[in-house]
Amino acid sequence: MQNDAQQQAKAMFAGGCFWCMEAPFEKMNGVYEAVAGYAGGTTVKPTYENYHRNGHIEVVEVVYNPDKITYEQLLGIFWQQIDPTDEGGQFVDRGHGYSTAIFYYDEAQRVAAEKSKKQLEAQNVFNKPIVTPILPAPAFYPAEDYHQDYYLKSPTRYKMYRVGSGRENFLKKTWG
């Protein structure tokens, strides 16, 4: 994580497998880190073994410098990593634990998220309705260390998973 005493803000996104959501954010100038974790469920300190049974979903918490990258830019990155029309999960990962959501920390984030969703709907990129909800940010629980920065720790397995899950082909077909 960059450690310059500049301004920090947080954003939280659920886009299915958190392994696939860290890298696109962490590669952006102005993002300090994207932390894989769990949110939205009924238990405190969920684990990979129990998060789905307790209503949590996989998320990334993005810590960023709003002087270098805007929340609107983060929203653009988010939308281009997911299938926002799929209520049942993302790609090969099925079930509530892999659903999509934008979690906002304040009114400005809520307004920006709603605006970005309307703009995406107006673009007519998808043949089905966009079902990704925009919700108040719940408590965030970091995932276990072995899940953090998986794309760096196991780059070959990460790439195989992105392709094998169907995510990579969907994103290329949708966004070019």
pLDDT band at 20 (very low <50, low <70, confident <90, very high): very high
Total-model pTM = 0.94
Residue pLDDT, tens place only, 56-110: 999 999 999 999 999 999 999 999 999 999 999 999 999 999 999 999 999 999 9
Q: Is the pLDDT of residue 2 over 50?
A: no
Segment 166-174 shows an average pLDDT of 96
Q: Which pLDDT belongs to residue 151?
A: 95
The single residue of 9, 17, 34, 102 carrying the catalytic annotation is: 17
Examine the residue annotation and report whether 17 is marked as an active-site residue of this protein.
Answer: yes
pLDDT band at 128 (very low <50, low <70, confident <90, very high): very high
Q: Is the pLDDT of residue 1 over 60?
A: no
Provide the mean pLDDT of the chain. 95
Segment 143-153 shows an average pLDDT of 95
Segment 157-165 shows an average pLDDT of 95
Q: Which pLDDT belongs to residue 5?
A: 55
Three-class HEC string of the chain: CCCCCCCCEEEEEEECCCHHHHHHHHCCCCEEEEEEEEECCCCCCCCCCCHHHHCCEEEEEEEECCCCCCHHHHHHHHHCCCCCCCCCEECCEECHHHCEEEEECCHHHHHHHHHHHHHHHHHCCCCCCCCCCEEECCCEEECCHHHCCHHHHCHHHHHHHHHHCCHHHHHHHHHC
Q: Which pLDDT belongs to residue 17?
A: 96
Domains of the chain: 9-167 (3.30.1060.10)
First to last CA, the chain: 30
The CA-CA-CA angle for residues 7, 144, 36, to 5°, reads 45
